[in-house]
Amino acid sequence: MGQQKIIIALDGHSSCGKSTYAKLIAAELGYSYIDSGAMYRAVTLAAMDAGLFDETSAPPVEKIEALLDHIDLELKHNPEKQRTEIFLSGRMVEDLIRRMEVSGHVSYIAAISAVRRKMVEYQRWLGREKGVVMDGRDIGTVVFPDAALKIFLTASLEVRTGRRYKELIEKGMAADFSEVQKNLEKRDHIDSNRDDSPLKKADDAILLDNSEMTLEQQMIWFKDLYQRIISGADDKD
Ligand code: CDP
């Protein structure tokens, strides 16, 4: 579909299927998929590995800022698995960063401005040649405000909890339904209320509630939208 490369920003609430959708869109268009949430999760894992979190308290911002200078984070394409993987100091951490412990701390880390500055810089660099689908919380508002196509995805809390619970179980990870639900609610609250780059729909993003939709229906919806955008997108990124 189409020759002209654009940036597609996919933002929305926790666990509403952004990454699955973004991957399908990227495959459809021959674009690369970039998971910005994985970057915040990797920084969180680095802070946990450095022993900065204890049972009761989160580390002071200064400690995270100091850690940032030493973090070696890289996204690399794995041609065999046909996916992009995230590396922390050379170690592939795709699965480790999805653990519930990381989910429990990530929104604290993602609210720190120094962390966001560094991640956004990397995200913009990764999108410099366009032809990318990037998912996250602030892609359409902050990272690529001029993206030609912006989608804001949401779904009911119940549906989102069910999807994440199933995903964790299928990966063989420990999961408790009500704990998963509480985590989603808590992250959405922190993500939407932080001062720096809060989660919100960009004015020009198109809202999609996929609670009742199959992926197939989402793709039909997307292709229609893409055709309309691409036929009049000359003046935008
Ligand atoms: O997969 P899920 O939707 O549950 O989350 P994620 O995309 O992996 O993002 C994890 C966390 O990173 C979010 O809850 C946010 O706190 C943070 N995040 C962010 O602040 N900005 C982004 N662009 C992406 C993620």
Domain residue ranges in the chain:
7-229
Residue 90: Cβ within 10 Å count: 7
Give 25-31 contacts, CB < 8 A, sequence gap 24+.
25/133, 25/219, 25/222, 26/132, 26/133, 28/1, 28/219, 28/222, 28/223, 29/1, 29/2, 29/131, 29/133, 29/226, 30/131, 31/5, 31/131, 31/132, 31/133
The confidence band for 232, taking pLDDT boundaries of 50, 70 and 90, is confident
Give the chain's end-to-end CA distance (angstroms, integer): 17
Q: Which residue minimizes the CA distance to atom 13 of ligand 1? A: 107
Instruction: Name the average pLDDT for the chain.
Output: 95
Tell me the best of 106, 166, 197, 210 to mutate to test the pocket of ligand 1, counting ligand atoms within 8 Å of each CB and taking the most. Answer: 106
CATH architecture of 7-229: 3-Layer(aba) Sandwich (3.40)
Facing residues of 152 across strands? 11, 207
Residues 149-206: pLDDT tens digits? Answer: 999 999 999 999 999 999 999 999 989 999 999 999 999 999 999 999 999 999 999 9
pTM of the model: 0.94
pLDDT (0 to 100) of residue 3: 67
Q: Which atom of ligand 1 is nearest to the CA of 38?
A: 8
Q: Is the CB of 154 under 6 A from ligand 1?
A: no
